Each structure stands twice: as structure tokens, then as C-alpha cells.
Amino acid sequence: MSHLNTQAFVIKSLDWKDTSRIVTLFTREKGKISVIAKGARRAKSQFQGILESINLIEASIYISENRQIQVLGQVSLEESYQKIKKDYTKTAYIFAILELTDIFFQKGAADPVFFDFLTVIIQQMENVSDPRIVFWYFLLKIASYLGFRPEFDLCKNCSQQKSGENVIFSVRDGAVICNACGIRNYEGWTLSSESRSFLELLQKTNHKKLDALTFNLVENFSYTDFLISYLKHHSEEDLKMTALKMLK
């Protein structure tokens, strides 16, 4: 048995037997890991108020390679992100981000780069005025991180940049198709010039400047549905996005 001290985000938890909880953590050193917090539901437990989803904690974990679920020892709360938790919409979007993290990352695969990115995303969610922008930014970046970065600037066929016109975004190809190349021959999402420019800008923007971005809603177009459908197609995961149902 080995002992690990690590920072971790609490992704989710569920009750186990009479007094305990099984908690899914995303740790800096070990990636996603399931732990049992023994006695967590007792009134005087050291875990009270600490193992809530979104919380950033410092955790002591006892690890045995023969176990699927490890044992959680001492914990301390580093950040509870109260600004997010007091905002229903921001909470829903962060839950959706944690839901995707749970889906896309396998247990035991350390990924400190993504851990740091997740830290930045949650910090930005606290500070922005429109949480949708942070969520869309996350979806674009996670697509790139998983190896299927969408391309919005040049037509896939002719490699020309067609500004000021509607294009088709081919979900299968992960790229736009211009009118000259026959958009009627492709299945996908119609992107207005405005939507396309916004997505391209969002993809290239530094996370520190997200709150400065502005956009106009386009009739009959949902950036969330568009980006989720793209991720669903290329990841081949059933993205039910339970957290987003909180917003409907």
C-alpha cells in the first residue's frame, strides 16, 4: 500500500452503506480516482462540508493497486468557489464541465496539464459575467486536447478563407465548407459569418480575456448544442449532459 498527498477536485459523490461516501476525485498526480470516505455522513465527521462537488481539496489517499476504490484519509479544503455556488447558472455549467471530465478521463491516468487547465477554467467561471463563454471555451479546448480540434478559418476543400458568407460546418470533417465548394453536398451545421467569426476568435483567445468577448445570439443556432454534437460525434461517447438540464 502506498500513500499519496495530492490536490484534487471533487467531481461527484454518492452515499455508501450507513455512514460513508464514495467520492470521485480528479487529482493532480493520479488523474481520476474513486475513494471511500469512511464515516463521511456522521455529524462530527472531518469530511463535513469538504466533499462537495467543485471543491478543491488537499487529500491524503491510501492506495492499493489491488483495489478499485481507494481509502481517503485526512483532507483539508483549499477552495470552495462560493461565487459559483451562489450562482445557479454558473453552478450548472461547472457541473457540466465536471461531468465531461468524468466521461473523458480514465481512472489512474495522471494529467497535470489538464488539472491546471481545469483550475483555470473554474477560476474564470467565478469572474466572468456570462458563464456560457467559459463553457464554450472549455468545449473547444477539450476537443483540441482530445485530438479533434475544429477548424473554422479555411474551407476544407479549397483552403480559401471566405469571410462574410454562411458556410457549412461538417461535423464529420471538423471543418467548414464554403459555398463555392458546394455546401449542399455536405451534411452539417450552417454557420453564419458572425457565428463562425466568434467561434474562431473564442478558440484563439487567452483565457484571461474571456470576459472581454462579446457575441450576438443567432436565431435558431445554439453554440452549446453545436459544440456538444461535435464532441459526441468524435469521442463516440453518449454525452447526456445531465447538468445542462438544470438550465431548461
Q: What is the mean pLDDT of each run of 10 residues along the chain (248 residues)?
A: 92 93 96 95 91 97 92 96 96 97 92 96 95 97 96 90 84 90 77 92 93 78 94 93 89
Q: What is the pLDDT of residue 185?
A: 67
Give me the phi and psi of 129, to 5 degrees please.
-85, -30
Q: How many CB atoms lie within 10 A of CB 93?
A: 25
Question: Which cell numbers in the block locate residue 53?
Answer: 462537488
Q: What is the pLDDT of residue 217?
A: 74
- pLDDT confidence of residue 29: 93
b/e 186-200 (16+ beta carbons within 10 angstroms → b): bebbebeeebbbbbb
Q: What is the pLDDT of residue 43?
A: 86
Residues 6 or more apart whose Cβ sits within 8 Å of residue 78 = 7, 55, 56, 57, 58
SS3 235: helix
Integer Rg of the chain from CA: 21
List, as own/partner pairs, every contact residues 179-187 make where C-beta atoms lie below 8 angstroms and the sequence separation is at least 24, other chains included. Answer: 180/155, 181/155, 181/156, 181/157
CATH fold, domain 1-80, is OB fold (Dihydrolipoamide Acetyltransferase, E2P) (2.40.50)
Alpha helix segments (H runs only) across the chain: 82-85, 88-104, 112-127, 131-145, 193-204, 223-235
pLDDT of residue 213: 87
Q: How many CB atoms lie within 10 A of CB 179?
A: 13
DSSP of 52-96: -TT-EEEEEEEE-TT-SSEEEEEEEEEE--HHHHT-HHHHHHHHH
Contact 159, 180 (CB under 8 A): no
Q: Provide the whole-model pTM.
A: 0.93
Per the structure block, which three cell numbers stand in for 49? 462540508
For the chain, which residues make up each domain, given as ranges? Answer: 1-80, 149-240
